[in-house]
A and B are shown apart, each in its own frame.
Chain A
Amino acid sequence: MLKIENVCKTFNAGTVNEKVALKGLNLELREGDFVTVIGGNGAGKSTMLNAITGVFGVDAGKILIDGVDVTGLPEYKRAKYIGRVFQDPMMGTAATMQIEENLALAARRGKKRTLRTGITRAEREDYRERLKILDLGLEDRMTAKVGLLSGGQRQALTLLMATLQRPKLLLLDEHTAALDPKTAAKVLDATQKIVEKDHLTTLMITHNMRDAIAYGNRLIMMYNGHVVVDVSGEEKKNLTVEQLLNLFSQASGSDEVDDKLVLS
């Protein structure tokens, strides 16, 4: 479903701030894979997602989604294939627009925007049913401005928007990191439900090792701009946090373990 071939990306090349973010990254996701991604700060996790979505172009390599080479496509054209939830709850929704308007915009992802009405009556009913699944009471506030919602509610809504029209690829960039533990659990639970129901091919970045083990059928660890650990199936299910930390220090070739990795 997703194929990343030898992708390289360097920021500020040729300056003192030069930062090699992706160094020959290779990754292939099969249809229905739910892959959790871990790695220390600066490992290239977010850069990988941004390279897939086309926030910036890459220096070398190829990105294919469902066989289509999207490497040269602008961000808004790739959106046809991709559902996205950002780390920052403010980024995924339009605050000054209503809940139902946000959903209607998402329902038209990858389609031509015409002069037909922006939201139909039938759609409204559909959205009401889908919002009920989130169990946040949003189905009764469909004409409320999204800016009035809490961070958790906005993240849940963004998740719904990302999957409203079945994406070929769902990308979650630490989408629960900015939420309190209780809300984070709720949003993760909703994520699990939706991914399972629609058999979505998913990449989920997380800083929480337990979540990385608990969710998905495959786990990858990134270090220094490429994948250093890739476990799946039974092997992944039986992983413990300690084993994961060991794997990390082996892969990174030092005993140095990133603070943030340990803390979470």
Chain B
Amino acid sequence: MSSFINALPGAAAQGMIWGIMAIGLYITYQLLDIADLTVDGSFCTGGAVCVMLMLSGWNVWLAMLGAVLAGMLAGLVTGFFHTKCGIPAILSGILTQLGLWSLNLAIMGMKANQALNVNNFKLLVNLRYLQEVQKGTRPIFQYPLVVVGLMILAIVAVLYWFFGTELGASIRATGANGHMARAQGINTGFNKVLGLALSNGLVALSGALLSQYQGFAEINMGRGAIVIGLAAIIIGEAAFGSLFRNFGLKLLAVAVGAVIYYMVLQFVVSVLAINTNYLKLFSALIVATFLAVPYWKQEYFHKKVKEGRHA
């Protein structure tokens, strides 16, 4: 149990980093009604670009900007496949993701991983900073939970503003009802591409932060990212759905959902001592169950009512 409590800050930090990824996924999954599988690839792209740019001497902020732009480009490609080539959204994402696997390797110099030595670089977040702040050898404003927390607040604030603008509202309308959106003169194709780019930019930012936190980027770091993101969205909705009506708070709930998810994982690993190899299986089953519950509710609940009416 004590090992679990000791590991909690680390789990929370990882959860918050993945929370940014989940907020990105929220844009496509909830607002545009697209399950965007690009993220499994663009998450790693973000990490790889950030690490490689830093290794070639870029400042950490510029390296992260580069990562965001690379992620947006990935989203743009998926959007192009979907809106200009007529490929279903889910398949478009899969195609980009597969292509990114090769590109990510190429970005990392044809290696499966690239490390950043924490002693030689000024990073924004790192596992070691977490320990050093706890020991008192580093100022509190470099504490990863503080740094990532502030970033999440800034991202939520910007998204809250953006989705309240004319353009942002038209993106929401695109996802809510394409017929209505086009009848109101909204270019739904353009909006989908824009949403996908925005989403994958955030996903890549999250990947860039994780690569700094763990001190390396590796080719498999984004595997299953969409499931983790969905889990965060679902947990956030289940925990705060009835409480948070405001759009900004809903986005925050997604980030908190990711933190809860990582804490539960930590619990499973350190208290229940389950082999970490099974974590992905558990994640998949948990997400499948949560996605099934609303369907079951409708299927079985509504049928009963109908039978009652006939009788």
Interface set of A (CB-CB < 8 Å, partner B): 53, 74-77, 79-80, 82, 84, 86, 90-97, 101-102, 104-106, 108-111, 113-119, 161-162
Contacts and interface: CB of A to CB of B under 8 A. Distances in A.
A92 B165 contact: no
A91 B179 contact: yes
Given A113-B166, A115-B167, A79 B185 contact: yes
Contacts of B188: 76
B176 A94 contact: yes
B255 interface: no
Contacts of A79: 182-186
Contacts, number: 90
Q: Which interface residue of A84, A92, A118, A119 has the most chain B CB atoms within 10 A?
A: A118
In order of increasing CB-CB distance, the 5 nearest A-B pairs are A79-B185, A94-B176, A118-B169, A113-B166, A109-B185
> Which size class do B's interface residues fall under?
20 to 34
B177 A105 contact: no
A76 B186 CA distance: 6
Given A76-B181, A113-B169, 17 more contacts: A75-B182, A76-B182, A84-B183, A92-B183, A93-B177, A94-B173, A94-B180, A94-B181, A96-B172, A97-B176, A102-B180, A105-B170, A105-B173, A108-B170, A118-B165, A119-B169, A161-B184
A82 B181 CA distance: 13
A91 B177 CA distance: 7
Nearest to A53: B183
B88 interface: no
A105 B169 CA distance: 7
Nearest to A111: B185
Contacts of A77: 185
Interface in B164-218: 164-170, 172-173, 176-177, 179-188
A80 B185 contact: yes
A69 B187 CA distance: 20
A106 B177 contact: no
6 contacts: A76-B181, A79-B182, A93-B177, A94-B172, A94-B180, A114-B166
Contacts of A80: 185
B244 to A, nearest CB: 15
Nearest to B166: A113
A33 B169 CA distance: 34
Contacts of B173: 94, 97, 105
Contacts of A74: 187
A118 B166 CA distance: 4
A119 B166 CA distance: 8
A23 B265 CA distance: 65
Contacts of A115: 162, 165-167
Contacts of B165: 113-118
Contacts of B177: 90-91, 93-95
Contacts of A108: 166, 170, 184-185
